[in-house]
Amino acid sequence: MLATRNILLIVSGSVAAYKALELTRLLRKAGAAVTPILTAGGARFVTKEALAGISGSRVHDDLWAAEAEIGHIRLARWPDLVVVAPASANLLAKMAHGIADDLATTVLLATRAPILAAPAMNPAMWTHPATAANMAALAARGVATVGPEEGAMAEPESGPGRLAEPAAILSAIERRFAEGPLTGRHVIVTSGPTQEAIDLVRYIANRSSGRQGHAIAAALAALGARVTLVSGPVAITDPPGVAVRRVESARDMLAAVEAALPADAAVFAAAVADFRPEAAPKQKIKKEPGAPPPDIRLALNPDILATVARHPASRPRLVVGFAAETERVVEHAQAKRARKGCDWIVANDVSGDVMGGAENAVHLVTAGGVEDWPRMPKEDVARRLAARIAEALA
């Protein structure tokens, strides 16, 4: 799969940079040609000599030396894929804002090759709003990510921010080149719950874990699709090789979906809150002794599924909604499909352990009828749905 591929590997400043050596070895073993770029920060953790020895290629680390020999534009046009591993918080911020102050950032700004970033940083840095905003901007531009994972860090603490293992990064790279029935297609997937603020500390949400939506995104990517995953707040790992846009509210989710259009298909698996508080105070609502609880007036949230299904300019060819029901599941799903204007509805009974659970039993409601799928792992539901989407777009 990688035998004829050119991979430009950018190694930035992170203690996890040593894993770039193993990733380079795996890429070479798979047959890829690897040219490394080592940033000044990356050189604090691995040497040019080590990267050169494993890659079998010259390591570039200086903008002006490269300019004198081959030029950053030629270097930017050489790869089939640019892999940034590890991608430090600093480098991701520069990528998001288009800063080009060294060889790595100049090439990243000049290249038109797809980019796969493997973030690595302290959990406090990964969860900082600035990093979240930078990742959202990169996802909106189609930059795919793999990881980070949760685990022990170099510091005596643990949490999200650990660089994905080299084998996982290699798998994400291979998926980028996999020829499948959805190669060349763009699919938008929504996943997880939304959180609708009551005040600065409280919110309305639901029990959705995002596991089904994330599995669908992974299954579509495995078939070759370019996937944009718009996810509400979840506690699960991002699917590898997928561009992830993180949001909180239903209004945020709609804006992110519309920004990701056009697409060949859209799958709305997120459990979007139907209502939000009409007004969210800027301070915490205090409980006063002897006073009654506050009245919270609710407003309707935007209908993301119906909005996209009736989009005047950029309606995807295939729009798939989800219906989480507790009674008369198929009947309600059929009515929802007609009401929303979408093509398919995937309906399931959530009165048991489906939300947050590992399995699902769904009914696929289309214009042609109803298919009752047996209970199976959510990953199998995702693969089966992805295969049906590929057939519909063929």
Residues labelled as active-site residues: 206
DSSP string, 331-375: HHHHHHHHHHT-SEEEEEE-SSS-TTSSEE-EEEEETTEEEEPPP
Q: Three-state SS for 12?
A: coil
Q: Which residue is it, tokens 């940034």?
A: 84
Residue 286: Cβ-neighbour burial (10 angstroms; 0-12, 13-18, 19+): exposed
In this structure, are strands 344-349 and 318-325 parallel, antiparallel, or unpaired?
A: parallel
Instruction: Encode burial over 208-247: b for 16+ CB neighbours within 10 A, e otherwise.
Output: bbbbbbbbbbbbbbbbbbbbbbbbbebeeebbbbbbbbbb
d(CA 107, CA 62): 12
Cα distances (angstroms) measured from residue 299 to each of 69, 274, 279, 302, 380 = 62, 9, 9, 10, 37
Residues with Cβ within 8 Å of 186's Cβ and at least 6 positions away in sequence, in order, are 225, 226, 227, 228, 262, 263, 264
Q: Three-state SS for 150?
A: strand
Cα distances (angstroms) measured from residue 141 to each of 74, 113, 251, 256, 336 = 22, 12, 20, 12, 32
Query: C-alpha 99: how far from its chain's center?
Result: 23
d(CA 194, CA 205): 6
Cβ distance 49 to 22 under 8 Å?
no
Tokens representing 228 are 């944009």
Residues with Cβ within 8 Å of 341's Cβ and at least 6 positions away in sequence, in order, are 306, 309, 310, 319
